């Protein structure tokens, strides 16, 4: 066989091997790994950690990875029943692989756990309790089957604010939701109006106004160190944004925040506020400025 023929045959083999590798990669899908830089805990207007604790480095939005900056979120109950009271348990491991047991207090708690199904249904803001071995536990009831993302929002003692996310499964039937664009939420006789625009890449003021039976609520008590607690989830992938009041604190009717969203998209916003001895959650669906709102990603039960 001549040299030219041999070279042509060799090239053909290389092309076939490359095509086979591409096909295999397309079938299996990319393998997730920790990002090169740790993701920030959120779009903060203040540090979770408080004075003396460094803020997290800039990077991808929080909650999309289970490991970042040497910390990992390890679920001990990755499969939970639907529509039944149960217990959710998890650990946070440190750079040496052992369970972390030292956490700073941020917004009155050492751990904030956010749960939402991947179509943004069933939002819950929980505060687990940690055992001596570093295991966090909290009672929980998932409303229906599907894939849920759990966000652990915490500050390691001496470390940066960190938010890690993992998927949990609840076997059973469910009907995906597709929230319509909304800037007014009603809950238990309260109405909350959201004013302001989300602008990708820059800080934007948001004002939430609380009324009850048509009258302004002016006696909101502090909840988690503020008059309101706002979480935003990007509809496409549930990237987690944890925004905070802008410092103009009054007990209502207006609660002011500053948020910075990373990209043009539709966002689901959840405001927790306390009044008359009960914490309530107002939900909104808002697109970034110049973008028509789109329905959140429909949950196929596999978290894709």
Domains, the chain, with CATH or none: 67-170 (2.60.40.10), 184-287 (2.60.40.10)
**pLDDT class of 44 with cuts at 50, 70, 90:** very low
> How far is the C-alpha of 256 from the C-alpha of 76, rounded, in Å?
37
List b or e across 106-120, with b for residues whose CB sees 16 or more CB atoms inside 10 angstroms. bbebbbbbbbbbbbb
Answer for the pair 51, 37: CB distance below 8 angstroms, yes or no. no
Greater model confidence, 123 or 3: 123
Q: What local confidence, expressed as pLDDT, does residue 59 receive?
A: 63
Mean pLDDT of the chain: 81
Residue with tokens 């990373």: 262
Q: What local confidence, expressed as pLDDT, does residue 292 receive?
A: 61
The three-class DSSP label of residue 280 is: strand
Q: What local confidence, expressed as pLDDT, does residue 115 receive?
A: 98
Specify the pTM: 0.77
């Amino acid at each position: 066989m001549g040299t030219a023929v041999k070279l042509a045959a060799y090239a053909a083999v290389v092309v076939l091997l490359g095509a086979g590798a591409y096909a295999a990669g397309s079938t299996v899908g990319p393998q997730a790994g920790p990002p090169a830089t740790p993701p920030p805990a959120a779009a903060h207007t203040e540090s979770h950690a408080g004075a003396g604790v460094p803020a997290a480095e800039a990077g991808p939005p929080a909650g999309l990875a289970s490991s970042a900056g040497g910390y990992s979120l390890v679920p001990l109950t990755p499969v939970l029943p639907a529509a039944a009271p149960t217990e959710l348990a998890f650990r946070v491991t440190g750079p040496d692989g052992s369970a972390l047991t030292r956490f700073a207090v941020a917004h009155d708690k050492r751990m904030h756990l956010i749960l939402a199904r991947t179509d943004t249904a069933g939002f819950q803001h929980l505060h687990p309790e940690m055992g001596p071995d570093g295991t966090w536990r909290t009672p929980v009831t998932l409303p229906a089957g599907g894939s849920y993302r759990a966000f652990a929002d915490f500050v390691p003692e001496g470390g940066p604010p960190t938010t890690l996310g993992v998927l949990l499964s609840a076997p059973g039937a469910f009907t995906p939701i597709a929230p319509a664009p909304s800037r007014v939420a009603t809950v238990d006789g309260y109405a909350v109006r959201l004013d302001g625009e989300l602008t990708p890449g820059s800080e934007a003021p948001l004002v939430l106004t609380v009324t009850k039976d048509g009258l302004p609520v002016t006696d909101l008590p502090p909840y988690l160190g503020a008059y309101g607690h706002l979480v935003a989830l990007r509809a496409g992938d549930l990237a987690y944004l944890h925004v905070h009041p802008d410092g103009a604190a009054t007990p209502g009717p207006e609660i002011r925040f500053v948020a910075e969203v990373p990209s043009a998209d539709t966002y689901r916003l959840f405001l927790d506020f306390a009044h008359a001895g009960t914490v309530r959650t107002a939900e909104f669906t808002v697109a970034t400025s110049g973008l028509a709102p789109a329905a959140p990603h429909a949950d196929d039960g596999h978290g894709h």
